[in-house]
Structure 1
Amino acid sequence: MARPISASHDLRRDEILNVAAACFARQSYPATSMNHIAAECGTSKARLYHYYESKEAMLFDLLDRYTQKLLVIIGQVEARAQRRALDERATLHELIRAFLHEYETSATRHAALLGSTHFLGEQQREVILDRQRDIVAAVTRFLCRAYPDRLNARNQTAVAMTLFGMINWTFTWLRPAGPLSYAAFAEEVIGLLDGGLGRVA
């Protein structure tokens, strides 16, 4: 009978992934070695291999967990919107707030998603890319429902990618201790959408 994996094993994996994400963000995925990650974790490379068979396996687990979490956030926002009887525009606004709340504490993971996915093997890369497509498709649906008079088959992809362009790269410039918080920036994004897409066509 196989020995069950303990809760501490999963917690240790989370710690390793946090360190790996920080290393990838600081010095890039190619420049980070298992030795680097082991040293940052305060352990040996041999011990690290107890949890992950390779750096690529670590990257995949990191991105797999993170993209699943983003999809969970989408589902949670939809469920809360139904419970609170929010209209479509308010639901989109809640999604933007939820994404930026997550980005605030997941900056290094988000950096890995945007900058390191192409280092995965083909099959694993497709898993992550499919999740990203699902996220984009979901956000596009939220936008189309929120602004039905402004979005159509011709412009909906461009508008969705414009929204992602506004929020996805915050890890490069937006600092929690800076003059603008993530929560305040979410309201700026919402204001820009309502001021543009929300105006009468």
Structure 2
Amino acid sequence: MARTQASDHQLQRDEILERAAQAFASHSYPGTSMSLLAKACGTSKARLYHYYASKEAILFDLLDRYTRVLIALAEKHADLANLIAAFLAEYEHSQTRHIALLNDVKFLEEPQRELILTAQRTIVNLFAEAIQRRFPQRTDAQNRSAITMLLFGMINWTFTWLKPHQDADKMSYADFAVLVTQIFMHGMEALPERPDNLSKTAT
């Protein structure tokens, strides 16, 4: 008869992922061993293997859960300004997970790596659709990707410098979201309308 999982099994996994994200951010993924992870979790390596078969399994679960959160946010907030604010609010509390997403996908084996890359492409496409809805006359197939990645370039690396919890003089994430939105929106509005889109509008 199969052994049933303890009622706190999911809670234990959440705690492991939280500690693992911190360890990967502090020591790098290659520099983090299962022994180090067990120590960070305050448990034995044998106990850690009860929850995860390998360090890679921990990394995949961490990235899979985090990208699912981001996809859900992007699907929920169709308005571009709300989308930017929602992502930066999430980034504020998920800095170590975001570091892993940006730096450690390459350490996954196929097909897990492709699953995370597909999730990342989904997030980018949802942003691109939000931008195109807001600026239909200024985006097309030629510039859509560049504009979308420009916006991600503004928000994706905030964990390297925006740390209001460490410095009271730092701008808050909420205020930074307003600043990004203003700069991006005004920049998009200053772009000339795309010729192809003008002809489509005329017809």
Both proteins in one fold, TM over 0.5: yes
Higher normalized helix content (fraction of residues): 1
Q: Rg bigger for which structure?
A: 2
- 1:5 aligned partner: 5
Q: Percent identity?
A: 54
Q: Distance in 2 between matches of 1:200 and 1:122?
A: 41
Structure 1 pair 6–199 and aligned structure 2 pair: CA distance change class (3 A): farther
- Amino acid in the other structure paired with 2:178: E
Q: Does 1:38 align with 2:31?
A: no
59-68 or 169-178, larger mean C-alpha shift: 169-178
Assess if the C-alpha contact under 8 Å between 2:80 and 2:130 holds in 1. yes
* Contact 2:75–2:126 under 8 Å retained in 1: no
Aligned pair count reads 189
Residues of 1 paired with 2:189 and 2:8: CA distance? Answer: 48
CA shift, 1:154, in A, is 1.0
Letter in 1 for 2:163: R
When the two chains are superposed, the root-mean-square deviation of aligned CA atoms in Å is 1.2
Kindly provide the amino acid, as one letter, of the partner of residue 158 in structure 1: A
Structure 1 counterpart of 2:175, one-letter code: A
Runs of 4+ in 1 over 4 A off after TM superposition: none
Give the C-alpha shift of residue 10 in structure 1: 0.5
Structure 2 distance, partners of 1:115, 1:158, is 21
Q: For residue 196 of structure 1, what is the aligned residue in structure 2?
A: 187
Question: How far, CA to CA, are the matches of 1:189 and 1:148 in structure 2?
Answer: 20
CA separation of 1:3 and 1:176: change in aligned 2, threshold 3 A:
farther
Question: What are structure 1's unaligned runs of at least 5 residues?
Answer: 79-90
- Structure-2 residue corresponding to 1:183: 174
**Contact 1:23 1:32 (C-alpha < 8 Å) held by counterparts:** yes
Which AA in structure 2 matches 1:66? Answer: Y
Match of 1:96? 84
Aligned counterparts of 1:31 and 1:182: Cα–Cα separation in 2: 30
User: 1:66-85 counterparts in 2 under 5 A?
Assistant: 66-78=66-78
- Conserved 8 A contact 2:84-2:181: yes
Offset, 1:117: 0.3
Shift of 1:49: 0.5
Query: How far 1:152 moved relative to its partner?
Result: 1.2
1:163 aligns with 2:151: yes
Structure 2: any 5+ residue segments left out of the alignment?
A: 193-203
CA distance in 1, matches of 2:150, 2:5: 43
**Letter matched to residue 130 of structure 1:** T
